[in-house]
Amino acid sequence: MRSLILAATARFLLPILFMFSIFLLVRGHHLPGGGFVGGLVAAAAFVLYGIAHGVEEARALLRVNTISLLGVGLLLALASGLLPLAGGEAFMTGLWFQHPVPVLGKLGTPVIFDTGVYLVVLGATLTVLFNLVED
């Protein structure tokens, strides 16, 4: 049985929760938050949408396979650790761009790592929860 109120609320909350998850990701390397918390909030948004409209619609809205999100996230996290090795630094040493980017601030390898964690958490959480909801 589908709830009209839940469906309307989920459609309204999805973009708000997704933008909040991006906010948590971007501010995470300076303040509390980051890739893990942002990924959980984004996953909660898609799971809420999946409960309200069905898992197939939520998967179609996501447009990316959840396992692919996991793989890309792992590659980003690994790349953020390997980039310093190319410059003669230790593994996982933080490298920062000289000029700050407007709105985002200083970008560097910690931001790349956080983005990888975000994608891994989003992919893993959605894989598990979509399979649970389908059953």
Question: Please, is 74 exposed, middle or buried when counting C-beta atoms within 10 Å of its C-beta (0-12, 13-18, 19+)?
Answer: middle
pTM (two decimals) = 0.90
Query: DSSP alpha helices (H): ranges in the chain?
Result: 4-27, 35-53, 55-62, 66-86, 109-134
- Collect all residues with Cβ–Cβ distance below 8 Å to 64 and sequence separation of at least 6: none
Tokens of 42: 């984004």
Residue 74's closest CA among 44, 25, 128, 113?
A: 113
CA distance 20 to 107: 19
CA distance 24 to 101: 17
Strand partners, 101: 105
Q: What is the per-residue pLDDT for 97? A: 83
Q: What is the per-residue pLDDT for 1? A: 62
More confident site: 119 or 27: 119
Check pLDDT > 70 for residue 118: yes
Residue type, 37: V
The mean per-residue pLDDT over the stretch 125-129 comes to: 95
More confident site: 28 or 115: 115
Tokens of 71: 């793989």
What percent of the chain stands above pLDDT 70?
Answer: 96
Residue type, 8: A
Q: How confident is the model at residue 13 (pLDDT cuts 50, 70, 90)?
A: very high
The mean per-residue pLDDT over the stretch 87-108 comes to: 82
Q: How confident is the model at residue 101 (pLDDT cuts 50, 70, 90)?
A: confident
Check pLDDT > 90 for residue 116: yes
Q: Positive or negative, the Cα torsion across 99, 35, 124, 49?
A: negative
Residue 64's closest CA among 82, 46, 79?
A: 46
Q: What is the per-residue pLDDT for 43? A: 96
